[in-house]
Structure 1
Amino acid sequence: MSAVRRSTADQVAVALIWATLGGALIGGVALTIGLNAHIVDEPFVQEPLSLILGPLGIGAFSLFVVAPCTIIFGLVSGALINHLRVGRWAALAICLAAATATQIACVRLFFWDEWREPADFLFTTPFAWGAAVVLWWRLTRERREPA
């Protein structure tokens, strides 16, 4: 298994921006599909524009929570991946584990005793895992060297 090349500080910063936006959008898409499938008998037939505007609106609103959480777990993930020099799949496991731990901590911090059941935490999982996958993709992709 080949180790992932070390990322520079600039590459990590760009990856964090991509992960923040990607996590918000992926979570927005998942939540839009879930809400439309749950509320309407025929999803997207009655409100087809919600397929486009829903993810953008939910994603933009979620940035208040997604941005700080992504920065927290992204810096930890980037440091671990750079320090341990793990392979691509181990790097994905690190990103997902750090995102899940940060997600649980943030939900407990913001909603304290209101959310206790595991199903309550599933609401935020698409945002956290979406950001983790985008961060992993940006940190471990093959980079072309300038000629």
Structure 2
Amino acid sequence: MDASVYGTWFWKDEQETGYLHFGQEEESGLLQLTMVELNSSGKIGVTQMQGHTSQLGEHRYLNLKFVPPQDGITEYLFLKYEISKKGLGLAFLDPSVIEKAIADNVLAGRVEQDGYVSSVRLSDTSIKLQQFVRDNDRALFPEMKSLPRLVLPRGK
């Protein structure tokens, strides 16, 4: 587990303020992420995820699943990340790259459309998936956004 992600990271814009709290879950030892969002009307949203970090070559990734599953469906989130002087850089996966790879029979899996939302289910081998990520990293993760670390004043 990459402990460099542990801590609190934040963002603030006109619509909301949000915090990402990363640490190790006590019982399972998994990476725990609790996201708290406060929107401009004062409503709070809380999302929890668990998972682990991974590394392929020089690139690092967050492998997370939503806890608890929503509507009985386990959903996963795969992000590229980096820690720098700017903070925690996060890049979301572009699902269209995976969808195209499935349609072109480059990867085994299926895409299910439900209105505007698509669900991608991969069934290829881990080795083939890892190689696909290595070969297509820039296309899969086109944009990295940085969140600063929250630094609190020292207590007395």
| TM-score category, normalised to shorter length | under 0.3
Q: Which has the higher helix share?
A: 1
Return the TM-score normalized by structure 1.
0.26
Q: Which has the higher strand share?
A: 2
RCO comparison, higher one (Cα < 8 Å, 6+)? 1
